[in-house]
Amino acid sequence: MSTVDPPRTRRASRRRSPRRRGISVVGLLGDLLLTAGVVVLLFVGWQLWIGDAIIGAQFKSEAGELTEEWAAAPVTPDTSVAPGPAEPPALAQPGNGEVFGVLRIPRLGPDYQFKLAGGVSTSVTLDPIGIGHYPDTAMPGQEGNFAVAGHRGSHGAPFADLPTLRIGDAVVIETPNGWYTYRFRNLEYVRPDGVQVLLPVPQQPEVQATDKLITMTTCSPRFGSTERAIAYGVFESYTPRADGPPASLSTGVA
């Protein structure tokens, strides 16, 4: 018996080996799929957080370079203007993608600054520049509604923390000629098709504008688009560049 048993055992072992190899292949495939899933999650995390931080830092740097360029330009005080609060100069409507200002919100950090350009196209303005101005809405300092838009969860996410603003926080628009200071008033959430927030008097189609407002729009939740978060502010003052930066930039947090 001992002379024939071992060969039978080896044959049985050989018959079971393909099954073991099959199990090993399935296990290897499972490991590969698990690894691929982890890689995808890491990529999504990069896109949502790390990528936004890098792009946001780049946008802030570009805006800072622009404000430094404006600060270095020669300034001639307008002696024809009577003492007292300066009247905001009228700004022309910008072209699509044309940069005309920098938006600064001290509540969101001393380095918070993003370029403002005409239009709200993702490909021309929001993605490559930062914040866009809704065409044909008021310009800074004008009666009516100065309405702008920005991403909340991609391409630098300039409006990621918009809902954290508090009543009275400064929202400052810097231009080559000076600074327009608004004060945050309130926040509301609307449906994606809630375009009445862009009216001269938001949500009031039959009312004629007499105030100077700012409306900032962004998606909500941060990484979704089922709603829009809308932040409103009221114009406070205009500061000519010859007078130097306004106090609202350094004491703009209510």
Element (H or E) spanning 56, and its range?
A: helix 51-72
pLDDT at 87: 87
pLDDT at 1: 47
Is residue 28 a part of any domain in this protein?
A: no
Is residue 220 a part of any domain in this protein?
A: yes
Alpha-carbon gap, residue 101 to 16, rounded angstroms: 75
Which two tokens mark 166? 């508090």
pLDDT at 5: 53
Is residue 181 a part of any domain in this protein?
A: yes
Is residue 4 a part of any domain in this protein?
A: no
Is residue 70 a part of any domain in this protein?
A: yes
pLDDT tens readout for residues 70-93 = 999 987 666 555 566 778 999 999
Domain count, the chain: 1
Query: Does residue 221 have a cis bond before it (omega within 30 degrees)?
Result: yes
pLDDT tens readout for residues 16-59 = 555 555 556 666 666 665 655 544 444 555 555 577 788 989 99
| Domain limits for position 228 | 56-249
Alpha-carbon gap, residue 181 to 243, rounded angstroms: 14
Is residue 219 a part of any domain in this protein?
A: yes
Is residue 36 a part of any domain in this protein?
A: no
Instruction: Indicate the DSSP class of residue 103.
Output: E
Instruction: Indicate the DSSP class of residue 116.
Output: E
> Following DSSP, what letter does each residue of 163-226 receive, concatenated?
GG--TT-EEEEE-SSEEEEEEEEEEEEE-TT-GGGGSSSTT-TTPPP-SEEEEEEEEESTT--S
β-strand partners of 190: 228
Is residue 230 a part of any domain in this protein?
A: yes
Q: Regarding beta strands 113-118 and 170-174, do their DSSP bridges make them parallel or antiparallel, or are they unpaired?
A: unpaired
pLDDT at 48: 58
We report the CATH number of the domain holding residue 243 as 2.40.260.10
Name residues of the chain where pLDDT drops below 50: 1-4, 12-13, 38-42
pLDDT at 67: 97
Which residues are tagged catalytic? 151, 219
pLDDT at 12: 47
pLDDT at 222: 81
